[in-house]
């Protein structure tokens, strides 16, 4: 993808500080870190967000998370970390080549987290639960007409 910043980083047309790479994904330091040691893990395959990533690529990236997160924690002395994927502009995505953030966390850092939480009333939880199950069945079995 010619206009994609992360494709350019993957192709070494833009420099980055890589900390891991294999045939499927690369991991490099975010240029504007939330905290020192903030890493991005990026599939080599260009895709806009998680919904368009082949499951086997997602599974490969997920399999790399435990060691990569542990390495970030050990290298930074972090007390914890967040793994975040922003999907869509409204969710804070700015580079439309999907990626995971690994953000080391410290008790006195400036991150505004956790997020505000709401509640369900009446049968709302059932309604949204059924709607998600129905969509998932349709995506997994497109032939069934579910
Ligand atoms: P998003 O907001 O899409 O979830 O995350 C994009 C991330 O890419 C941001 O945290 C931003 O700091 C990082 N970023 C943007 N441009 C560059 C770059 O040229 N090099 C590196 N290493 N990170 C970048
Ligand atoms: Zn790309």
97 catalytically annotated: no
For domain 5-115, say whether CATH 3.40.50.620 is its number: no
List all residues whose CB is within 6 A of at least one atom of ligand 1.
5, 14, 16, 28-32, 40, 86, 92-95
Atom of ligand 1 nearest to the CA of 85: 4
Considering 38, 97, 99, 101, which one is annotated as catalytic? 99
Q: What is the pLDDT of residue 98?
A: 98
Q: In what order do the strands lie in the sheet with 18-21?
A: 18-21, 25-29, 39-43, 100-105, 80-84
All structural domains of the chain with their residue ranges: 5-115, 119-146
Give me the pLDDT at residue 143, please.
Answer: 82
Give the closest residue (by CA) to ligand 1 atom 21: 31
Predicted pLDDT at 142: 84
* Residuewise pLDDT in 10s, the chain (146 residues): 889 999 999 999 999 999 999 999 999 999 999 999 999 999 999 999 999 999 999 999 999 999 999 999 999 999 999 999 999 999 999 999 999 999 999 999 999 988 999 999 999 999 999 999 999 999 999 887 65
d(CA 23, CA 20): 11
User: Left, alpha or beta for 92 (phi > 0: left; psi -120 to 50: alpha)?
Assistant: left
pTM of the model: 0.95
């Amino acid at each position: 993808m010619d206009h994609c910043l992360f494709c350019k980083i993957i192709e070494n047309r833009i420099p980055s500080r890589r900390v891991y790479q294999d045939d499927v994904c690369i991991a490099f330091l975010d240029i504007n870190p939330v905290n020192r040691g903030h890493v991005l893990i990026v599939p080599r395959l260009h895709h806009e967000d998680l919904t368009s990533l082949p499951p086997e690529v997602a599974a490969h990236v997920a399999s790399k998370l435990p060691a990569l997160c542990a390495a970030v924690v050990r290298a930074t002395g972090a007390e914890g970390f967040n793994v975040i994927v922003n999907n869509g502009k409204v969710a804070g995505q700015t580079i439309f080549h999907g990626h995971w953030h690994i953000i080391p966390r410290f008790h006195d850092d400036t991150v505004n987290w956790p997020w505000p939480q709401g509640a369900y009333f009446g049968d709302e939880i059932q309604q949204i639960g059924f709607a998600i199950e129905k969509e998932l069945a349709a995506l997994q079995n497109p032939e069934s007409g579910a």
